[in-house]
Structure formats: structure tokens, C-alpha cells
Amino acid sequence: MTRILRNIGIMAHVDAGKTTLTERILLDTGRIHKAGDVHTGNTETDSHALEKKHGITISAAAISCDWRGASITIIDTPGHVDFQIEVERSLRVLDGAIAVFSAVSGVEPQSETVWRQADRLGVPRLCFVNKMDQVGAHLERTVDMITERLGANPLVLQVPIGGEGDFAGVVDLVSMQALLWDGAGASPTVCAIPEGLRSAAEMQRQRLLETLADQDEAIMAAYLGGEAIGAADIKAAIRQACMAGRLTPVLCGSAYRNVGVHPLLDAIVDYAPAPSDRPPVAGINPRSGEVEHRLPRPDQPFAALVSKVQASRFGTLAFIRVYAGRIAAGTSVTNATADRAERIGRLLRMQADAQTEIDDASAGDVVAIVGLKSVAAGDTLSDPAQPIVLDGFVIPAPVIEAVIEPRLGRDQERLGQALALMARSDPSLRVVIDADSGQTLLRGMGELHLQIAVERLKEDYNVDAAIGAPQVAYRAAASRPSEVDHTLRKQSGGPGQMARVRLAFAPLEDGETGLVFVDKTVGGAVPREFIPSIEKALRQSLLDGGPGGYPVLGLKVSLLDGAFHQKDSSGLAFELATKEAFRIGFERAAPILLEPLMRVVVTTPEDYLGSIIGDLQSRRGRILATEPIPRGQDVTAEVPLAELFNYVSALRSLSQGRAVYTMAFLRYAPAPQGVTDKARQSA
């Protein structure tokens, strides 16, 4: 019997109701018998003590349930911008997503961020407009924002019955029936459309059919021919358009009151893609360097992507998405990314922080493995006989850093071990030892990110640590091309060291980061076995940084020529030569300092608009837009992170506590000379 699978992520801005919706889904599918509450800290997916304490999702959690014969894996992702790596790696291994919006607030800043992530990864989406029972709820306004702010093509499938406190259900535009909830249970009562809503429902149904006719030839022919179009045909057309990303179905409800959750579950089964619907996954054969594809079928050579590695009470867990083939406990696989052999210990299906041991996993499954020794997030596991390296996921560059040290000197070693484990689990958290001071620097995505890391040290590893004042994580970049030809020669009585490298440096295009290394040597000027040593030295040099010690955001380096000695050349010699060549060549490339710019959205009553705009401009901010909203304005600005420390206090003072703001990393940009001088003096 063919399994019906759905792998779905739930994504949104913080406080849109993702976790509450997940709880109601688990309740309605019979996975749990009593729904938890975010405010009381007893939800299934927010199981960590710090999630209960702060009332937010920190780590993405996977849980499975069944509905209408389909096995649904749901990953509840964080809504706070500091934890966007969790959204990134979740979307990378999922087939579809539910974007949750507040019917009161509409499309919020982090909603835009995660939507763009899903766009980049090609993930089909459904929309659920939540909180329809709250004061100020407005479905049509939210749908307009989805169109205007996200560039989406929403397809509204329901008309709300009642509004705000009187919200009682929806009209299903596919079946043209009313679904009413009386508060006594999760299942709706199906009845005729109320007379007062029939005209509006018929008009919306007409829009639905017209939109589908533009996307589906069969619907177009039936529509133009005046034929009746059945629900099955409509659902098939919606499914195809959703999977292709041409339309985004929109449903609505109130997760807290468990209104509209059943139709959403139906929509997941009816419209969201199955693993078998997704295109073949592409990767590189590490032996041949050729692009290969794997079909999403169990009879293909095994290929899986590691999305997360974390320490737990079960041991070190590696969470994987199986894209092709099948594995069982005891199977030997290869970590194709690192070219290392691995053996599958136990296979687990995770239920948040609980587990169920399983015998095997096949294409489409999202599972955890116990027993892997050397994997990292983003690695590919594959059939040893037919290795393949899949694309990983984007790891955002840290924008903030702080000195961290143990409160007790005897905990120094344990602190280092704990931070290494945490950084392995969260690739956006970086741990660096300052070369000059010897201090440990913790780098992350924001103040909350670092705060949670310190609290987790105490909670999970019993290491009490103190953290210094956060500092801006500046970066360096080349501003012009340069070239260097450097030779290393050392002789001390025994075997010597000799290596020559000629390197060309060039700035990267806007938006590009990391090292772009190109080997342009010909005629064996540098033997093949030394090329990895040169690339390794360059990558380390980017981390060690240029003048002032600031890491280099991105650089293109071409190896133009070189020389070696039959006896005195080695990988170490080429590493040392390359590091010195980098120091000289990067200085010649006129390095500049880059500072992180943040996208800040301030929601304020009209009375304080002028003061808030003036304050943002005084912080070197550039106003991008002002947009009227109910009872106020949204001000969107681009502001350097260096100017935003303690902004919450300033905003509270400017608005008498009535304005709120969110911010997300936007990009790195050249810092003004004054900022550059100040940063280099303090480096």
C-alpha cells in the first residue's frame, strides 16, 4: 500500500499563533488529548525549559500526526528573527509550508523574511489567517497585504461567518457549504450558507473560478462553456497551481478557539505536495564532479541531507531528510560532504522531545539518527557506492558579538566544550578565540540569541557564564583588485620548507559572501595534492581577518601560478606561504570596514510619527517607507546596528510606551570613515 506523506513547516512572525495552531492540529488528529498553552508553558513542541520561560519557540521541533489516511510531519519553526537559521534549515528539508498571519496585524516583518526564504527554496505554501475572533481582525486587508508585500497570488478559499467576537465559522467556497463551530468540539457543523452571506459567497466563488480558469485549461473550458464544475475538479486545479507556486490557497480561523483547523488539515492533504510530487533532487558526484539527480523514490540510491545535529538525552542526534532510497539501522553510509564512512545506529521518529524507534526510513521521511560520529548540519549522507553531495542551506553571518567567560575559573574547559556542542547544533552561533587577548567571543544574530545561549549553558550544561556588553560584528572587504607573488623558503639543517604562490584578489559582487577560490594554474606549477592546503589557508585567513582582525565577509581569490621543490615542499609549506601572501595581498586590495544594516519596522500611533522618524534619521537611518495601518503608521527604515543598542528604551520614551518595533538583518555596507576610525581604535 502506498504511503501518503506530507512534510509541512509552520512559519510566521512571532506571536502570530504558530505553536497554538500546532497544538490544535495535534489535538484534532488525536496525537494528544489535551491542547497545551503557550502562556502556561505546556505545549508539545515548545518543550525546552527556556521556551517555556520566554514563551517563544527557539528551536524547530518536528512532530507527526495522521489525517484522512495521510501521515503528516509538522515542523513548528521560531518566529523571532534571531533564530532564522531554524527556519532556513527546516524549509530546506520540507515539501510545503503553512504561513500563519494575524488577521489583526497582517503581514509583519518576519513574515516577509520567512516568505522570501521559502521563495528562494521553492517551497509551495498555504496561508492561514489566524485570530479572526480578535478585535480589528480583517481577512480582506490581510489578503491585500499578502499580494502587495509578498508579491504572492493568493487564492481565497473561504468567507468568514461573523467577525471579531462573533466569528463562528466559514463558508467553504469549494463545496459552497457553511462550516459552523459552536465551541463544543473541533468538528464543524456542515449546513447551508446563511442567507445574508450567500451573495458575497457566490461573488467570491466566481472570483475563485475565474482565477483557476487562468491557470487550468480544463477549468477554463468548463467555465467558458457554462458547465457545472465539481468540487473534485476544483481541488485538482488548486493542487496543481499550489504545487507549481502559481497560486497560494488562503484559509482562515482562530487557532485558540479551534475554529477552522479541520479545513486546514483537509487543505494540507488536498493541496500540499507529497515528497513524490517534488522534482528530483540535484547534487554533485564527488568522484566525477558531475551533476547527478535522484528521484524521490525508495528504489533509488540512498541520499539524505542532515538538517540539524544536537546533543540530547538520547545521545547525539542527527536529523535528516531522506530524499531518495532507503536505510535501516545498522546500514553503512558515507558522509559524502566530508568523505567519511558512517554507520547508522538507531533510527528514531521524533515527537518533539519524545521518540519512537523505527526499523527503517525511505524517500520522503524526516527522521533522527543516533550513532553518527562526524556529521555536521548541511552534510549529505549517501550510498557509499554512489555518493552525491546535495546543496546545504544558507547560514547567516553573525551581526553581534560579546566576550563570554565562566563565573568560576574551574569551568573554563567545560565552557569551551559546551560552546562547541551548541555551535555544532546552531551554525549561526560562532565561537572564536581572540588572537590578541585570548578571550572567548560569542557571535550571533542578535542580543536575544546571545542571551538564550548563556541561559542554555546554565540549563543544559550546568555552566554558569557571564557575557560582556554586545558589540557590533564588523566585517572587512576588498575595495579593489590586487595581486601578490610570495615565496616561502626555510632551511634549518634538515628538510626545508619551500612553496611559492601567486594570487589575485578581487571584491565579490553585492550579496556574495565567503571564499570564491579559482585554480588557474597550468602545467603542474602547483601539484594537485597541495591545492586543498592553499584553499584551507585562504578560508582560515578570511576568518582570522584583515587589518584590525575583522573577518573578511567575502573575497574572490585566483591561484595564478606557483612553484614547488621536490623534497622541501609540503602541504604545511603551502599553507604558510598562502597565509603570508593573503596578509600582503589583502592589504594591497585597500580593505574597507563593513557594518551590518538592519531593517527596522516601527509601529506607532500617528501622534509620535514625526519624533520617531527624526530619531531614526539621527541614528544614521534611511527611511524606506511609511504605511498607514489601523490606529497608526508603520515606519520602515534601514539603520546601522551600531545605532540601535538600547533603542527599545528610547522608543518607549518617545512614544510614552505606545510604539513597538522589530528588526532583522538586511545587509552589510561600507561604514563611514568616522565609524571605521573608531572601530579600528578599539580593535
Residue after which a domain boundary falls, among 366, 390, 414: 390
Question: Residue 47 has what pLDDT?
Answer: 63
Q: Say whether both 58 and 152 belong to one domain.
A: yes
Phi, psi of 37 (to 5 degrees): -135, 135
Tracing cell 485558540 back to the chain, one arrives at: 256
412 in a structural domain: yes
The total domain count for the chain is 5
State how beta strands 4-12 and 70-76 pair.
Answer: parallel
Q: Say whether both 482 and 608 belong to one domain.
A: no
Q: What is the CATH number of the domain that holds 629?
A: 3.30.70.240
Q: Say whether both 408 and 444 belong to one domain.
A: yes
Contact 150, 110 (CB under 8 A): no
- The amino acid present at 435, given as its one-letter code, is A
CB atoms within 10 A of CB 616: 24
Tell me which of 615 and 401 has the higher pLDDT: 615
Residue after which a domain boundary falls, among 390, 413, 428: 390
Q: Say whether both 286 and 333 belong to one domain.
A: yes
Q: Say whether both 531 and 426 belong to one domain.
A: no
Of 325, 234, 336, 333, nearest in space to 283 by CA: 336
213 in a structural domain: no
pTM, 2 dp: 0.79
Question: Residue 371 has what pLDDT?
Answer: 87
Question: What integer is the mean pLDDT of 386-395?
Answer: 91
Nearest-5° Cα angle at 102, 393 to 244: 45
Confidence of residue 683 (pLDDT cuts 50, 70, 90): low
Q: Say whether both 584 and 625 belong to one domain.
A: no
Radius of gyration, alpha carbons of the chain? 28
Question: Residue 38 has what pLDDT?
Answer: 67
Q: Say whether both 299 and 152 belong to one domain.
A: no
Residue after which a domain boundary falls, among 448, 473, 498: 473
Tell me which of 58 and 624 has the higher pLDDT: 624
Nearest-5° Cα angle at 667, 664 to 672: 115
Of 125, 131, 150, 129, nearest in space to 140 by CA: 129
Question: What integer is the mean pLDDT of 513-530?
Answer: 92
Confidence of residue 403 (pLDDT cuts 50, 70, 90): very high
Nearest-5° Cα angle at 205, 200 to 210: 130
Question: What integer is the mean pLDDT of 459-481?
Answer: 91
- Give the mean pLDDT of the chain: 90
Q: Say whether both 114 and 27 belong to one domain.
A: yes
Question: Residue 493 has what pLDDT?
Answer: 62
Tell me which of 460 and 80 has the higher pLDDT: 460
In terms of residue numbers, what domain contains 341?
A: 281-390
Question: Residue 212 has what pLDDT?
Answer: 96
Question: What integer is the mean pLDDT of 176-202?
Answer: 91
Of 607, 604, 660, nearest in space to 634 by CA: 604
Tens of pLDDT, residues 613-644:
999 999 999 999 998 887 788 999 999 999 99
Least confident of 79-83, 518-522, 672-676: 79-83
Tracing cell 527599545 back to the chain, one arrives at: 648
Tracing cell 509583519 back to the chain, one arrives at: 108
For residues 281 and 303, what is the distance between their CA atoms, to the nearest angstrom?
Answer: 9
Tell me which of 630 and 245 has the higher pLDDT: 245
Q: Say whether both 637 and 574 belong to one domain.
A: no
234 in a structural domain: no
Strands (E), 285-377: 291-294, 303-312, 315-324, 326-328, 332-335, 340-343, 346-351, 354-358, 360-362, 366-370
- How many Cα atoms within 13 Å fall on the side-chain side of residue 298? 9
Least confident of 39-53, 75-89, 103-117: 39-53
